[in-house]
Structure 1
Amino acid sequence: MQRKAIIIGATGLVGQYLAKQLSELYDTLIVIARRPPRYINASMRFYQLNDFDNLAEVFTSVGVNHTTDAFSCLGTTKKQAGSDEAFRKVDHDYNVSFAKLCRDKGVENFFLLSSMNADLDSRFLYNRVKAETEQSIKELGFAQLVIFRPSLLLGRHKGRPLESISQKAFQLISPLVSEALPMHPISAKRVANAMAMCAHNIYERHKYLTKQVSATTTIIENKQMLAMTRVKR
C-alpha cells in the first residue's frame, strides 16, 4: 500500500529536518508552506500557500486520504507574530484548521509538535495556547494522536535573540549537565528524529492492521525524546 504524509511547518527549526526524514520514509510527502523547504527530493509535492486562511482551498487538490499521516511543526512567537491575537491565530487556529481538514479527509494519525510547558492554567500566553491547541486536536478523535513536548530547542532561531543567548550559555555547561534532567535542552534535529521514529512505528503497523483502532493520545516528553535519540558510544 502506498503511504503518504502531509506536513505544515516544514521550513521551521524542527520541520526542516523532519521533512527530509519523512520524504525518505513515505512514498509521497506533501509539503504546504509559504516558501519551499531547503531540502527537496522526488518524493515531495510542494504547495505554496502565502495565506493559511486559504488552507481549505489547497486541500481540494492535495489528495489526502486515510492512507495519509499528518504532521505539524507550525509555530511562532508573539514577537514574530506581532500581537497576542496573531500568535494565537498561527499556533492554535492554523494548526486546528489543518487537523480538522486532515480528519475530514480520513486521516487517522496526527503528529503534533508542542512544548514542554503546555499548560491550560499557565500565566504565560505561549504555554496556554500550546495546551489549548493540544486539547482542540485531541477532541477531533484521531485514531493515533502523538504530541511531542520538547524543552528549549537548540538550533538557529531567526528573530529569537533570547533563545540564542540561552543556547550559547548551555553549550558551555552541556558536558556537565545530565540528559536525565527534565528541562535539558534538545536539538531540533533530535526532536525530528524522535517524530520520525514514532511515525515509522505506526507506518509499520499499518501493514498488519485490519480494523479501525480506537482513538488514543500519546505524549512524548522531552526526556523520552532524548532517550530515544541518544547516540550509543
Structure 2
Amino acid sequence: MQRKAIVIGATGLVGQHLIKQLSELYETLIVIARRPPRYINASMRFYQTNDFDNLPEIFASVGADRTTDAFSCLGTTKKQAGSDEAFRKVDYGYNVTFAKLCRDKGVENFFLLSSMNAKIDSRFLYNRVKAETEQAIEALNFAQLLVFRPSLLLGKHKGRPLESISQRAFQLISPLVSESLPLHPISAQRVAVAMAMMAQDSYERRKYHTAPVLERLTIIENKQMLAMTRAK
C-alpha cells in the first residue's frame, strides 16, 4: 500500500522545507497552494488555487484517503492578511476546513504547525487563534494529531520586517545562548525535519509494533524539536 501525504502551506517558511523531507518518505505527495513550490519532483501532484475557499472542490479530485497523512504549515499575520477577520479566516478558517475535508476522506493522521505561545486566554490575537485552531482540529478526533509549537522561526520571512530584525539580533548572540532554553529560536528547516521525523516514527510504530503508538494528541514543543534535530 503506497503512502501518501497531502500538504497545505507548502510555499511558506516551514512548508518549503517540509515537502523536501516528505518526498523522501511518501510515494505520492499532494500539494495544494496558490503558486508552485520551488521544490518539485516526480512524486508530487500539484493543485493550484487562487482562493482556499475552493478547497472542497479541490478535494473532490485529490484522492486523499486513509493511507494519506495530512500536513498543514498554512499561516499568515494580521499585517499580511490586512485585518483581524482576514487573519482568522486563514489561520483558523482554512486550516479547520482543510482538516475537516481530510477527516471526511478517512485521513487518520494530521500534523499541524502551530506556535509556542498558543493560548486560548492570550491577550494577543495571533496566540488565541493558534490555540482555537488546535482545539477545533483536536475535536475532529483524528486517530493521531501531532501539533508542533516552535518559537521564533529563523529564515527569510517575506513581508515580516520585525521578525527579520529579531533574527538578526539573535544571530549576534546565538553562540552564547543554550538550546535548552524554551524560547530559543529554531530554523524553519529544523522544524520541517522534526515534522518529518515524527511522521516516520508514527508510521513505524503502527507498522512494526516495535513501540507503543503515540497518544491521540501529541504536542511537540520547541525544546523537543531542537533536541531531536541537533547535529551529533
Query: Which TM-score applies when normalising by structure 1?
Result: 0.96
8 Å Cα contact 1:5/1:28 also seen in 2: yes
* 3-state SS, counterpart of residue 61 of structure 1: helix
Q: 1:188 to 1:138 in 2, by over 3 A?
A: same
Residue 90 of structure 2 aligns with an amino acid whose one-letter code is V
Superposed counterparts of 1:119-138, under 5 Å: 119-138=119-138
Structure 1 counterpart of 2:55: 55
8 Å Cα contact 2:33/2:49 also seen in 1: yes
Residue 150 of structure 2 aligns with an amino acid whose one-letter code is P
Residue 181 of structure 1 aligns with an amino acid whose one-letter code is L
Instruction: Output the CA distance in 1 between the equivalents of 2:144 and 2:206.
Output: 12
Question: Following TM superposition, by how much is the alpha carbon of 1:202 offset from its aligned partner in structure 2, in angstroms?
Answer: 1.6
Are 2:200 and 1:200 aligned?
yes
Question: Following TM superposition, by how much is the alpha carbon of 1:33 offset from its aligned partner in structure 2, in angstroms?
Answer: 0.2
Structure 1 counterpart of 2:17: 17
Are 2:104 and 1:104 aligned?
yes
Structure 1 counterpart of 2:167: 167
Deviations for 1:164-211, whole angstroms, at most 9, x for unmatched residues? 0000000000000000100000000000000000001122234247xx
Structure 2 counterpart of 1:90: 90
**Unpaired stretches in structure 1, ≥5 consecutive residues:** none
Deviates more, 1:197-206 or 1:9-18: 197-206
8 Å Cα contact 1:143/1:214 also seen in 2: no
Deviations for 1:150-175, whole angstroms, at most 9, x for unmatched residues? 00000000000000000000000000
Instruction: Output the CA distance in 2 between the equivalents of 1:208 and 1:88.
Output: 40
Structure 2 counterpart of 1:177: 177
Structure 1 counterpart of 2:148: 148
Question: Following TM superposition, by how much is the alpha carbon of 1:226 offset from its aligned partner in structure 2, in angstroms?
Answer: 0.2
8 Å Cα contact 2:202/2:214 also seen in 1: no
What number of residue pairs does the alignment pair up? 229
* 3-state SS, counterpart of residue 207 of structure 1: helix
Residue 133 of structure 2 aligns with an amino acid whose one-letter code is T
* 3-state SS, counterpart of residue 24 of structure 1: coil
Are 2:36 and 1:36 aligned?
yes
Query: Which TM-score applies when normalising by structure 2?
Result: 0.97
**Unpaired stretches in structure 2, ≥5 consecutive residues:** none
8 Å Cα contact 1:150/1:222 also seen in 2: yes
8 Å Cα contact 1:4/1:30 also seen in 2: yes
Instruction: Output the CA distance in 2 between the equivalents of 1:19 and 1:8.
Output: 10
Instruction: Output the CA distance in 1 between the equivalents of 2:214 and 2:198.
Output: 18
Residue 162 of structure 1 aligns with an amino acid whose one-letter code is L
Residue 54 of structure 1 aligns with an amino acid whose one-letter code is N
RMSD over aligned Cα, in angstroms?
Answer: 1.2
Structure 2 counterpart of 1:228: 228
Structure 1 counterpart of 2:70: 70
Structure 2 counterpart of 1:5: 5
Instruction: Output the CA distance in 2 between the equivalents of 1:215 and 1:93.
Output: 26
Question: Following TM superposition, by how much is the alpha carbon of 1:215 offset from its aligned partner in structure 2, in angstroms?
Answer: 7.0
Residue 108 of structure 2 aligns with an amino acid whose one-letter code is E
